[in-house]
Chains A and B, each alone.
Chain A
């Protein structure tokens, strides 16, 4: 067995020597996907247009939140630690919503996988979408597959150089816009656009634009299917999650074989002999963006984009044979056809998909419920650790706490901070003379976190144990909304 790349031959060498011999690494072959039109191509174009429109223009959408607050609909405000998404405002301590979103995204991906394999890869993955766009430009500037294949073999001419320059400039423009749109999510978009144009934007913005411009240019322009084959973990993971009921782009061997020209098939059919519909035109291979021959069966490189279906259907229509020689089909049907059994209808509703849908609904409703019922008030209590308690001259014991009150509302609010669980102790806020059993009035400024040093003092004759559970109770003076936080009172 040799580790040295020898040829572009993907298949194992004939097992003449008795041992399997194959190259562990294959050097990349440039793929020149041909343009195709059809149902799945149209779906892809629509998704591409919608996805890109959302990505590029969403930062400019406005959302009025009142004075002193950003009016950008979607904004990641890192400086102030806020994330705004239309009517939702997320504070740093609520980042678990993002965890929830990630879990939802994972389950949705699993569901898509259970229904139709790597359909995410073929239609929605940014790598696919941007590669599609870059290929469109490549075709527009340098011609379709045939022209590009021809030009690749020819020496450079003024014309081909001009075409290449045009292509790369357009690629770079899109890549630059991609990076540019990215940074707009992190600052007020119209302002940042002006700053960027006048070279007054923060250095970070330029750095991120450069990073995303270069990655977009390299990944969509050059790496392309290499990303799907070698960089992306999803093909490996999805292989473990898929099952025999998942729809996959499949070549119908029973209908297609034996392959032959239209004429030959006609002669065979007239003679009553079996003849396949596949005319070996190789259109399915020519249009494939990852260079797969789907007729060899399910392939690791197949991203389920369905372009070969479009290509094959177009050919079938031309030669007056039924379409669907290549189509979305399940593994179980492939098996049944091989055994001569009739194909089953696609079953989308089955235990696996039901479980995913239930999980998605459960997580989404839990998040929705939490979001809808989340308090308009946050309280954090931290016990001072050093010293953990203080002996006072009259023998009383004092504990000091840092209490953080978070007022996410855009107006000033009045609260009452009181103590529960230790009736003999007295709560007061440092630097404020008032305090006592009724609690301390607190004024929380709008949209801010207020930090207070709060002392709890137990009288000399309290005889407290080393640790007593207590509660800090914060009550909104107007609405009566109450938040309680557990902590401990420590004594010698």
Chain B
């Protein structure tokens, strides 16, 4: 491209020109420093090396694999294997020990809590919240009330088999839809809601009509004193903790249409060590019994 025949020396600067000329303006020949060019060439050589060593050229059906056989997925797999190898002794100990033994060993319990916390974040946080704080319809695991029991073994059983999730060993038991099925009429539902509300709140209103409805219909599950039954997952109605809300409107909604949330059976998805770690972690959140 360079017209070397027209190269000359620029009078003003004394520098040679390249032969390029536009409207009488000439380009001075001031090439890049040699070291700079060599660095550029070196990066080119380096890049060619990369083409052969690493996945590089996109082709239909995938990129060229590269002779080192490296892939990002493979690298993650190796990292995970290393992590598993690091954790292996502690995980083996988790598998071996009972939940009570794990909780009693400070070092192992600490590992289980950390391991459980990360597993909780992946599997449980979508429903129970990042720290087990729960929300309406999803139990708060940091408080001191448990539908299905809050000891280590009870928590473990709930995580493994779930509730109303098709696992034959899982927790069963629904709150029937008393209004929707026509067993109770609107007045009765209103009365019983007033009665249940009075169990956890001071009230001077007359709730005897509701008490009668309760005694006739609700005691098989919730008990005569309304303290509930963890075998059936029937909540204690005398406390301040309400899974689906304790306002009268919430109570009417619950009694009319019933309730029955699902807890997945994690036993088929997670390995026993993870479930033990989750159990210890959930137990340590502050509500464990």
Contacts and interface: CB of A to CB of B under 8 A. Distances in A.
Nearest to B103: A431
A398 B240 CA distance: 13
A386 B284 CA distance: 15
Interface string A434-467: 0000000000000000000101000010000000
Given A386-B133, A387-B131, A2 B240 contact: no
Given A386-B131, A386-B133, A4 B15 contact: yes
A384 interface: yes
A396 to B, nearest CB: 9
Contact of B131 (A4, A384, A395): A384
Query: Which residue among A6, A384, A387, A395 has the maximum number of chain B CB atoms within 10 Å of its CB?
Result: A387
Given A390-B143, A394-B240, A431 B284 contact: yes
A464 to B, nearest CB: 15
Contacts of A395: 240
Given A2-B13, A6-B13, A387 B236 contact: no
Given A386-B131, A393-B241, A4 B28 contact: yes
B131 A391 contact: no
Contacts of A387: 129, 131, 133, 140, 142
Contact of A391 (B12, B28, B143): B143
A400 B131 CA distance: 12
B225 interface: no
Nearest to B240: A395
B130 interface: yes
Interface in A376-396: 384, 386-387, 390-395
Contacts of A348: none
B187 interface: no
A392 B142 CA distance: 9
A393 B240 contact: yes
B240 A392 contact: yes
B144 interface: yes
Contacts of A430: 284, 286
Interface residues of B, number: 21
Interface in A1-49: 2, 4, 6
B133 A6 contact: no
A2 B12 contact: yes
Contact of B286 (A6, A390, A394): A390
B5 interface: no
Query: Which residue among B15, B140, B144, B145 has the maximum number of chain A CB atoms within 10 Å of its CB?
Result: B144
Contacts of A391: 143, 240-241
A23 to B, nearest CB: 10
Interface string B130-147: 110100000010111100
B143 to A, nearest CB: 5
B149 to A, nearest CB: 14
Interface in A72-90: none
Nearest to A384: B131
A282 B33 CA distance: 33
A455 B286 contact: yes
Nearest to B239: A393
Contacts of B144: 392-393
Contacts of B240: 391-395, 460
A59 B240 CA distance: 64
Given A391-B241, A393-B241, A4 B129 contact: no
Contacts of B145: 392-393
Contacts of B133: 386-387, 390
A395 B14 CA distance: 93
A384 B144 CA distance: 17
A386 B143 contact: no
Interface string B111-153: 0000000000000000001110100000010111100000000
Interface of A: 2, 4, 6, 384, 386-387, 390-395, 398, 400, 430-431, 453, 455, 460
10 contacts: A2-B13, A6-B14, A386-B133, A387-B140, A390-B143, A390-B286, A391-B241, A393-B145, A400-B142, A453-B284
Given A4-B15, A387-B142, 7 more contacts: A2-B13, A386-B131, A391-B240, A392-B145, A393-B239, A394-B240, A400-B142
In the A-B complex, list the 9 residue pairs whose CB atoms are closest, starting with the nearest: A393-B239, A387-B133, A395-B240, A393-B145, A386-B131, A393-B241, A392-B144, A390-B142, A4-B13
